[in-house]
Structure formats: structure tokens, C-alpha cells
Chain A
Amino acid sequence: GQQVMQIPQYQHVQEGEDFTTYCNSSTTLSNIQWYKQRPGGHPVFLIQLVKSGEVKKQKRLTFQFGEAKKNSSLHITATQTTDVGTYFCAGVRDTDKLIFGTGTRLQVFP
């Protein structure tokens, strides 16, 4: 069954508010990848984290990999309407299988 859960499932925010999605795995992950899927589109790679406790930033997006390498988070500061979409985390299991999280759908109201 699903081994990578994300919360929340949905989030509606006012433009300018912050947003965070959390990714939790039942097992230790070798790395964590984050993807964004715009409505009607396909997943697009955002970033990859490899080290325990790693933090990476992309403009208003901050990605964090937990110390135990079982959880991760994506934080968006001051959301914009262009941030609308579904955000997925993904981790490698059994060396060559990529397991995606359940996703968090973000809606931003202007």
C-alpha cells in the first residue's frame, strides 16, 4: 500500500499567505524529490534532497529533508496565483522504485 503520505490533501490560501506541505514515509528514504503538477498538466521536477537535515531554497520555495530521512516539507512564502497546482514528494525504495506521495493540492485565491 501507499507508504508515503502527504498532508494536507488540499489547501486553499489567500494570495500572499504562506503554504506548507508535509511528506511522511514509513521507511527511510535515500533521497526525496519534489514535483509540481499544474492543473491539466504533468508532474515537473522541482528539486532533490539527499542529505539528512538538508535545506534548499528556490526563490520563495524552501525544501527540507528530515534528520531521520523519513520526512520532508515544502514551504512557499507569500503564495502567488502561479503557485496553484498539486505538489508531490517522491522517494526511492528498493534501489530502483520511485514511490510518490499522495500529493497536496494548492489553490490560491487572488
Chain B
Amino acid sequence: EAQVTQNPRYLITVTGKKLTVTCSQNMNHEYMSWYRQDPGLGLRQIYYSMNVEVTDKGDVPEGYKVSRKEKRNFPLILESPSPNQTSLYFCASSAGGAYNEQFFGPGTRLTVL
């Protein structure tokens, strides 16, 4: 089954404790991206990747890092989480870059205390 998976689905952590949210897709998509969703603000792009070893900042990259060492994986790293990073995070992938249908993962709800 074609899908985007994220782990963990839920995470409660404390300020400053480094964490990684994994994202994997099995559709051989080149374009992958991370979004955060906050009430009233919609989905805001954090980082995106056009292909392996190619990453770029979205609209809200501060406090986040990503890597794209393999085509299927695109982990999101929070080196020192802060409470303002409490949010719902979605990973997405696409065969045609930003111009085509985005396939979203199930989401990761992160709470930073």
C-alpha cells in the first residue's frame, strides 16, 4: 500500500531534550516536506526537499533541522525543543514537486513542556 508513515504519532517531551520525528514514504517520490499545523494558521511549511541531499527552508524553519540521505526518508530534528514548537506535524511527499498532489502522513502531535 502506497503510504507516508510518521513516528511517533504522539510525543510529550520537555524543553531542551533533542528529538527526531521520522518520516518515510514508499512511493519513490522525490519531493518531501514537513508542515506544522496550528489553529487559525493552517499548514505552514517548515522544510522541503527536492531530492536526496537537497533541502531548503520553508516559511517557518527556525528551531528545526532536516536531512535527506535516502530518497524514502526525511526526518525532522528538533535540537532543543521549546514550548512554542508544540504543534501537530505532518510529513508529505509528492511525485511532481510542489505542483502536484501531496500525500500526507498521519501526523505527529508534539507537546513540549
A residues at B contact (CB < 8 Å): 2, 4, 6, 9, 30-31, 33, 35, 41-45, 48, 88, 90, 92, 95-103
Contact = CB atoms under 8 A, between A and B. Distances in A.
B106 A42 contact: yes
Contacts of A4: 42
A44 B98 contact: no
Contact of A43 (B43, B58, B100): B43
Contact of B45 (A42, A44, A97): A97
A31 B58 CA distance: 18
21 contacts: A2-B44, A30-B99, A31-B99, A33-B101, A42-B104, A42-B105, A42-B107, A43-B92, A44-B104, A45-B103, A48-B100, A88-B43, A96-B48, A98-B33, A98-B98, A99-B45, A99-B59, A100-B42, A100-B44, A102-B40, A102-B41
A48 to B, nearest CB: 7
B8 to A, nearest CB: 15
Contacts of A45: 101-103
Which DSSP category, helix, strand, loop or mixed, fits chain A's interface?
Answer: strand
A98 B50 CA distance: 12
Given A92-B99, A97-B98, A100-B35, A2 B104 contact: no
A97 B44 CA distance: 10
A35 B94 CA distance: 14
Contacts of B99: 30-31, 92
A80 to B, nearest CB: 23
Contacts of B102: 33, 35, 43, 45, 90, 98
